[in-house]
Amino acid sequence: MALTYDEVYAQSVTDPEGFWGKAAGDVHWFQKWDRVLDRSRAPFDRWFAGGRTNSCYNALDLHVERGRGGQTALIHDSPLTGSTRSFTFLELRDLVARFAGALVAEGVEKGDRVIIYMPMVPEAVMAMLACARIGAIHSVVFGGFAAPELAKRITDAAPKLIVSASCGLEPGRTVSYKPLLDAAIELSPQKPHRCIILQRPPVEASMVAGRDRDWNDVMKAASPVDCVPLLATDPLYILYTSGTTGHPKGVVRDNGGHLVALKWSMKNIYGMDPGEVYWTASDIGWVVGHSYIVYAPLFHGCTTILYEGKPVGTPDPGAFWRVISQYGARVLFTSPTAFRAIKRDDPNGEQIKRYDLGSLRYLFLAGERCDPDTLHWAETKLGIPVIDHWWQTETGWPIGANCVGLGAFPVRPGSCGKSVPGYDVRSLDTAGNPVPDGEIGNIAIKLPLPPGCLTTMWKNDAEYKRWYLETYPGYYKTSDAGFRDADGYLWIMSRTDDIINVAGHRLSTGEMEEVLAAHPDVAECAVVGVADAIKGEIPLGLVVLKANVTRAHATIVEELIMAVRERIGPVASFKIATVVKRLPKTRSGKIVRGTIKKIADGSAYSVPPTIDDPVTLDEIAASLEVLGYPRDGVSAADRSKVD
């Protein structure tokens, strides 16, 4: 008889070594571990110490050896080029083994770093897996990142080799990568020994003699190599996330813990079986793409989809439904932002009716908290469970979810579900004391973190401890704010920076956004706290309306203000809102609330390197000027907006 979620969760927190030791039996080891959990250097805990494995072997070779080489492993679907390509496990293994041989021929060895700066093409996945095959540490940088930001990552990682492409594609435009790469190398004191460039239509990149080599040329000359047995504790990759000091933070992921946790998650969280089709609509430049486009589906023997397109505009709001129908995807994992865009352009779900979505069992959302209105819309239109779940670049896999493989419990819109087995999640006050159920606190995770989470920051153990472990001794600080209800559901309301203090009352901007998003004319929204001379901070609302809304904006704003007053109360002091064309977001779909706040407060700000469209910030600044927040900034005392 299968264990229930409650039973599995209890085992994971009372006997983590027994729990994860059993889970580790589901993956291939060249040599079994000496200890499941080594805490001899706590808080630098290590899982499966002494064990030897290889992530590429578990992703590809193992399936071929078990007779499933003919199954499709990877589907590349690009509405931007109008093309599709697919690769069986055998075909992908052979291509990866050959590119791994090309890396070896260029002098890349175990422990060397390789930066991958590429668009959403199969060669990017091959490069990641080729690094894993030989023990090189890959660091994927989002394709098209600005040269100064790429230079910071080159400087920190000191790669022996960089893999890139001539260009990436966006709707209506082509982004030339090579000039950005050349500029970044010029800016960085760390120079790679070699660059391997995939020449991709419609741009042919100019090559630097003696440094740059063509992807096709090195593949023709290379001989395939076998997987190298690696220690479970050896680094698999570095993934940079924005730092508060302007210096990127290099999250380090190991081989063994990552492999065990991600393999376990596919069945137990997402309900997937080997051979089924899994689709994560994200980008390999982000942790979601690392974990659930590349590694986890392949570890589990699933077919994974690599999609080069957008939820709308490539060519229409039916793009996702076409992909699901065409390939028979069982699970779709994407961001709430993507669904808000679809809802905005097709509010009645007419595009959904054009496709057979009978294969789809679940929709999982993550990246930002999903407002209940969007979740209800997706549930109603798709007729399947819609599950908002929560995790971070640092953890690498979900912290809170509805684990459908363990027997799904009822969805509570606005909640990310319950703690995933392995995570002992607590809500603490500023002194580190537990807060009662239902009361907003600082979300923290009791150490040790489960397998798969970051082991440290690249070359920066001290900062790892300072950023994450010192605020609440014995806990990992998530920097998220929220609460746990009496039934164990987690409610992640906002980042701790987004908890605003209105006349002494700590209020969540996420709660206010939930109210705004429920308005029938609103497609998406953001609430930020702005400085006020009387109350310290007051909330400011920005809303994007659904397509074809013709009602007067002033009327809608009045309704929104009244709705917040009725749902949250006058204490929120929500009196300012405006309609905007779009919200400024990162390429991963997160709204840059901190930058909006700086604009409103008249503080100096820089354009975030990850922002999708910098022009959006100018539009926001213009909208805020109309509200009385001039771009050059004036003191809060001169522009109090409160009665």
The pLDDT tens digits for 208-247 are 999 999 999 999 999 999 999 999 999 999 999 865 445 6
Pairing of strands 505-508, 52-53: unpaired
- Name the token pair of 102: 């090309």
Distances (CA, A) of 270 to 322, 357, 377, 471: 21, 18, 21, 33
| 455 CB burial (10 A radius; 0-12, 13-18, 19+) | buried
* pLDDT single digits (tens) 334-347: 988 899 889 989 99
Instruction: Say how many Å lie between the first and final Cα of the chain, rounded.
Output: 63
Angle at 373 between CA 369 and CA 377, to 5 degrees: 110
Q: What average pLDDT is seen over the chain?
A: 91
**What is the residue whose two structure tokens read 């990641």?**
128
Q: Which residue has the higher pLDDT, 447 or 620?
A: 447
Per the CB < 8 A criterion, the answer to whether 282 and 307 are in contact is no
Q: Inform me whether the pLDDT recorded for 640 exceeds 80.
A: no
Task: Mention every residue, 6+ apart, whose C-beta is less than 8 A from residue 559.
Answer: 519
Q: What percent of the chain has pLDDT over 70?
A: 93
Segment among 114-123, 289-298, 574-583 with least mean pLDDT: 574-583
Query: Quick one: CA dihedral 204, 205, 208, 210, positive or negative?
Result: negative
> Residue 349: what pLDDT?
96
> Residue 635: what pLDDT?
36
Per the CB < 8 A criterion, the answer to whether 312 and 264 are in contact is no
Give CA–CA dist 616/627, Å, rounded.
17
* pLDDT single digits (tens) 141-180: 988 778 888 998 999 999 999 999 999 998 989 999 999 9
Segments in 453-552 forming alpha helices (H): 461-464, 509-517
Per the CB < 8 A criterion, the answer to whether 211 and 160 are in contact is no
Going by pLDDT thresholds of 50, 70 and 90, the confidence category of residue 497 is: low
Q: Inform me whether the pLDDT recorded for 266 exceeds 70.
A: yes
Give CA–CA dist 38/220, Å, rounded.
44
Please tell me the pTM assigned to this model. 0.84
Give CA–CA dist 543/578, Å, rounded.
6
Domains in the chain and their CATH numbers?
5-309+389-482 (3.40.50.12780), 503-638 (3.30.300.30)
> How confident is the model over 88-116, as a mean pLDDT?
98
Going by pLDDT thresholds of 50, 70 and 90, the confidence category of residue 383 is: very high
> How confident is the model over 588-592, as a mean pLDDT?
77
> How confident is the model over 279-285, as a mean pLDDT?
95
Q: Inform me whether the pLDDT recorded for 642 exceeds 70.
A: no
> Residue 505: what pLDDT?
55
Task: Give the type of residue at 294.
Answer: V
Q: Which residue has the higher pLDDT, 126 or 631?
A: 126
* pLDDT single digits (tens) 408-445: 789 999 999 999 999 999 999 989 999 999 998 999 99
Q: Inform me whether the pLDDT recorded for 551 exceeds 80.
A: yes
Give CA–CA dist 589/312, Å, rounded.
14
> Residue 224: what pLDDT?
98
**What is the residue whose two structure tokens read 């709705």?**
563
Pairing of strands 475-484, 456-457: unpaired
Give CA–CA dist 337/591, Å, rounded.
9
In 496-548 the beta strands, taken as DSSP E runs, fall at 499-502, 505-508, 522-532, 536-545
In 67-211 the beta strands, taken as DSSP E runs, fall at 72-78, 83-88, 113-117, 137-140, 161-165, 167-170, 173-176, 194-198
> Residue 242: what pLDDT?
64
Going by pLDDT thresholds of 50, 70 and 90, the confidence category of residue 605 is: confident
> Residue 496: what pLDDT?
65
- Phi, psi torsion values for 586, nearest 5 degrees: -75, 170
Q: Which residue has the higher pLDDT, 338 or 199?
A: 199
Q: Which residue has the higher pLDDT, 518 or 99?
A: 99
- Name the token pair of 447: 């150490």
> Residue 499: what pLDDT?
62
> Residue 634: what pLDDT?
41
> How confident is the model over 127-132, as a mean pLDDT?
98
> How confident is the model over 101-126, as a mean pLDDT?
98
Taking each helix axis from N to C end, the angle separating 16-24 and 256-268, rounded to the nearest 10 degrees, works out to 90
> Residue 506: what pLDDT?
54
Q: Inform me whether the pLDDT recorded for 267 exceeds 50.
A: yes
* pLDDT single digits (tens) 56-99: 999 999 999 999 999 999 999 999 999 999 999 999 999 999 99
> Residue 241: what pLDDT?
83
Segments in 315-459 forming alpha helices (H): 319-327, 336-345, 372-382
> Residue 336: what pLDDT?
87
Q: Inform me whether the pLDDT recorded for 643 exceeds 60.
A: no
